[in-house]
Amino acid sequence: MGHAHSCDQSWCISTAKLIDGKDANSFGALFAEKGTFKFGNQASVVGPTAIAAYCEYFFNMICSSKHTFVSLTSERGAGIEARLRIAWEGKCEYTRLNSSTVTNPFTNIVHFNRAGLITRYNIYIDNSNLFEPSTVSGGMTTPARSSGEGFNVDT
């Protein structure tokens, strides 16, 4: 993979805003009909409708999320819109339903078809601490925030 193009960074920022805004339907609409979505160690979900429903279910399990990016690389085909694959690393700060927070590093690998729709989206993350009983019910806060590296979704 090579260096990322500015349009790839814009795509990642706008996609993260959909996720952080809990817009499951718009996120699902980014996928090809047989596109797959795999979140951590969960089973893959297939198709825009199922992916949107899966995300909606997850969004209801958390108060909010906030993505910060560390790095982005991409591989492209011919032409400006022929984005084939993006790999982005970052941190996601989750606010649990009890208002405590946890920040976890992630790497997303996203594959696209020639039409620009997602054919495969894999999120490599260990979110086991997000739903640990001691932290969810005990109100423990993990304040690990981004050191300011990379680029922020709000920019």
- DSSP secondary structure string, 44-109? PEESHHHHHHHHHHHHTTSSEEEEEEEEEEEEE-SSTT-EEEEEEEEEEEEE-TTS-EEEEEEEEE
106 contacts 90 by C-beta, under 8 angstroms: yes
Average pLDDT estimate for 62-78: 88
Dihedral angle of Cα 71, 60, 63, 32, to the nearest 10 degrees: 20
What does the chain come to in residues? Answer: 155
DSSP state of 137: H
pLDDT tens for 101-131 read: 999 999 999 999 888 899 999 999 999 999 8
- Rg of the Cα trace of the chain? 16
Q: Provide the greatest CA pair distance for the chain.
A: 52
Task: Please tell me the pTM assigned to this model.
Answer: 0.80
How far apart (Å, rounded) are the C-alpha atoms in residues 114 and 83? 7
125 contacts 111 by C-beta, under 8 angstroms: no
Average pLDDT estimate for 25-45: 97
Higher pLDDT, 9 or 22: 22
84, pLDDT greater than 90: no
Report the Cα–Cα distance between both ends of the chain, in Å, rounded: 25
